[in-house]
Structure 1
Amino acid sequence: MTQSATAEEIKSVLLACLNKTGIQEKQIYSLTTDNGSNVIKVGKLMQSDTQVKEGNSEEILSDNEENDDEQVLEAAENKLNDLVNDIHLAAKSVTSVRCALHTMQLCVHDVLKTDSVKHILCRVRKVVNKTHTQNMRLIFKNSSISLPKLDCETRWGSTYDMLDSVLEKKLFLNQIGLANESLLILDEDWEKISDITEALKPLRETTCALQMKNLTAGEFLAQWVKCKVVLERSTAVTAPLLLQAMEKRQDSLLRNPAFLSAVYLDRRYNVLLTEEQKELSQIHLLGLWKKIKTISSTSSMSSVSMLAKDDSFTSGDSDGEGDSALGSVDIVEQLLRVSDVSRATDTASKESEVAEHIKMFAKASRISKNECIFQWWHYQQESALKNLAEVAVALPVTQASVERTFSGLRYILNDLRLGLKEDIVDAVMLLRCNT
């Protein structure tokens, strides 16, 4: 990007990249973002086009109303169905999903910013910085003890590592603290350090677990719930603060219909959803089915139209009648092929049948959490529900893969290869990310 990272600029760059690979905006299902205001706005901008079109069609219908009583009745009905319409609209447009890892980081930062915790962290950082001076380095080296770890304030994981390393060297730090008051940590401060470290440990373990490849929404929800249970059982004073922060932040995820739908179609973990969340998922999945069906129909008709114009399917002998006959046969054959391919996906073509299949899925028995949900769906019979799962379950829950791509870029675009052109870098990174 050569301009400011505004939402409009990010959107234009994103769509330009998609156009290079032949992906249309209507084919995008979700956009996983952090909590940056500009990135969040990108999702809203990509939703706005569909919302405007839907709004215009509703206005045209309302202009045709003739009876005031009918308007009142319809207004009451629309009010009851507002939630359904909103979810259907979201399914037809791009759904913005917050990064689960970033959400957990914000939970921790909410607690680390409190006055009591912030005071202890400032004190520990001063002591650790002192231990990294030249004289103290020699003392630690002569005693065959490693130095406490420094932290980065914006990376709470490093803060946890710093506190943990300080606790490991508590005895030695107390000894040198008697000779140097700047390194002295009081007993009450040691208790607070231990308390904070104990409270942060389950979140640290959960964060590591959430960095796995191909993480699904169901696997994330299971780890999130497990972390909350551990915090509830913890005796640390800081644990309730972290639990409260998690409950506050989880609304951005557990109210997202795309996230809920991904969990709903995961038979390992959909039992964790409430009845209300299951209903929201069912509504969203039905809207997603309509979108998939619309895109599939449009693509099929486009492919047939392209073949009708293709010389390779209409060229034959020099006789004009032969050309016409051959062209007709090829187009009919292609229509049959398209129908044959889409036949399996149209087994539940009626909306009521698809809605019933989606609803009945919640009553199916749970499978083992050790099963790979992608493999499980792969071996299921072709159906509308399987087509939905191939889209919904594949929802990217975190931005960990993007972070790995950034890390990999430093091996491609380094100081010795700064002359690489943009298209070359794109091609190399595309190969790297798909091998």
Structure 2
Amino acid sequence: MQAALPKYKIRGRDFFSSYVDLLEEFDKLSFTSDIWSELHSAVSLLSLTAHGISKDFRKKTIILKCEVMDERHTGTIISTKFQTILKEWGIDRQKVHCMVRDRGSNMVKAMQLSGFEDISCAIHQIQLCIRAGVESQEWLLQLIAKLKKIATHFNHSLVAQAELTKIQKERLNQSPLSVIQDCPTRWNSTFYMMERFSKLKDSLVLYLSANPIAMITPEDWINIQKFVQLMQPFEEITRNLSSSQISISSVIPLIQVLKTTLQQEETKPNTSEQFINFITKLRDELNSTVRFGNLVEEENYTIATYLGRSYKYLQKSPRHTIPIYVK
């Protein structure tokens, strides 16, 4: 490490042994796990992170391992990896309270084989809802494809980037912004792309009038703005649920916020028929039994929400109520 990164200071033995002691202190542990590909080294990695509450009621998170997955990503192999990592850290399976995983069939199978109680990752579920909603609307897919074509034009041309910057600085007296390209595996990158197009509207209109790559019609601009407005709560909730300090106590209230927001957007006078269809699909996905339809019947979520410190004042306040359900 001194040769590769001289300024990095490796933690001492006491640092790591303190985590071993902490793991022994916990009566119960919950875990999060995921599999992803590291493009630069061309390997797949399986992570396992432990979460617990210390004696002084502080949330603790410990990344146990990132295991290289050389084999096929089958449920059987993943299950074996999980149990091996737990054994390496001396964690008795009786301490495993719950595993949070995505809805991949291999992950679901791994939990079944391991005999662990498990729940689906709320962020992954939200992403699947949005993906299904977007893919159900041909007009929206065409709009996204058009914007991606324009974004690719700028990302592949330094001349185009320089011209757009010049328009912003000299003709519009604006601080220069660049076009953002979306990523197919992350729905919020589509949101960020459209949000940036909305901010760059004036400069892009001027640029496209002289460089006809693809025509963005007035109706397209209206749809871009409406999409950003509709997806803003989804983006905020995705970020909130991605915080290291969040817990599943927030899932029921935040999903309820999404449902209420969709209902409000549907009744607005400026909501077109095609957006009503889009909203209907999003709402159907959120209410689906394979997504969040049975959320209030799952004890892990309902009990966590009832005990969640963040919502205590709402339960006591006569002006604010959260739907709390406990079996």
Give the TM-score of the pair, scaled to structure 1: 0.49
CA distance in 2, matches of 1:252, 1:106: 16
> How big is the shift at 1:221?
1.7
CA distance in 2, matches of 1:179, 1:228: 43
CA distance in 2, matches of 1:43, 1:254: 22
Which structure shows the bigger proportion of residues in strand conformation? 2
How much identity, in percent, do the aligned residues show?
Answer: 21
1:253 touches 1:259 (CA, 8 Å); kept in 2?
yes
CA distance in 1, matches of 2:186, 2:135: 13
2:286 touches 2:292 (CA, 8 Å); kept in 1?
yes
Specify the code of the residue in structure 1 equivalent to 2:153: K
> How big is the shift at 1:163?
0.3
Q: Which residue, 85, 90, 108 being the options, matches 1:40?
A: 108
> How big is the shift at 1:226?
1.8
> How big is the shift at 1:139?
0.9
> CA 1:119/1:254 → structure 2, altered by over 3 Å: closer, same or farther?
farther
- What's 1:102 paired with? 124
- What's 2:135 paired with? 113
CA distance in 2, matches of 1:244, 1:118: 19
After TM superposition, list the pairs within 5 Å mapping 1:18-417 onto structure 2. Answer: 18-47=86-115, 94-114=116-136, 115-132=138-155, 133-143=157-167, 144=169, 145-234=176-265, 235=268, 236=271, 237=275, 238-248=278-288, 249-251=291-293, 253-266=295-308, 268=312, 272-273=322-323, 277-279=325-327
Cα deviation 1:61-109 (Å, max 9, x = unaligned): xxxxxxxxxxxxxxxxxxxxxxxxxxxxxxxxx2110011111111111
User: Which stretch shifts more, 133-142 or 149-158?
Assistant: 133-142
Aligned residues: 231
> CA 1:265/1:141 → structure 2, altered by over 3 Å: closer, same or farther?
closer
CA distance in 1, matches of 2:95, 2:300: 15
Q: Secondary structure at the match of 2:144?
A: helix
Structure 1 unpaired stretches of 5+: 48-93, 280-435
> How big is the shift at 1:232?
1.7
1:18 touches 1:24 (CA, 8 Å); kept in 2?
yes
> How big is the shift at 1:175?
1.9
> How big is the shift at 1:44?
1.3
Q: Secondary structure at the match of 2:224?
A: helix
1:173 touches 1:184 (CA, 8 Å); kept in 2?
no
Q: CA RMSD in A?
A: 2.2
Higher relative contact order (CA 8 A, sep 6+): 1
CA distance in 2, matches of 1:151, 1:200: 15
Structure 2 unpaired stretches of 5+: 1-68, 170-175, 316-320
Specify the code of the residue in structure 1 equivalent to 2:94: K
CA distance in 2, matches of 1:231, 1:273: 18
CA distance in 1, matches of 2:146, 2:185: 17
Instruction: Decide which structure has the larger Cα Rg and report it.
Output: 1
> CA 1:205/1:158 → structure 2, altered by over 3 Å: closer, same or farther?
same
Which structure shows the bigger proportion of residues in helix conformation? 1
> How big is the shift at 1:222?
1.6
Q: Secondary structure at the match of 2:326?
A: helix
Give the TM-score of the pair, scaled to structure 2: 0.64
1:176 touches 1:183 (CA, 8 Å); kept in 2?
no
Specify the code of the residue in structure 2 equivalent to 1:46: S
Q: Secondary structure at the match of 1:30?
A: strand
Specify the code of the residue in structure 1 equivalent to 2:108: I
1:97 touches 1:256 (CA, 8 Å); kept in 2?
no
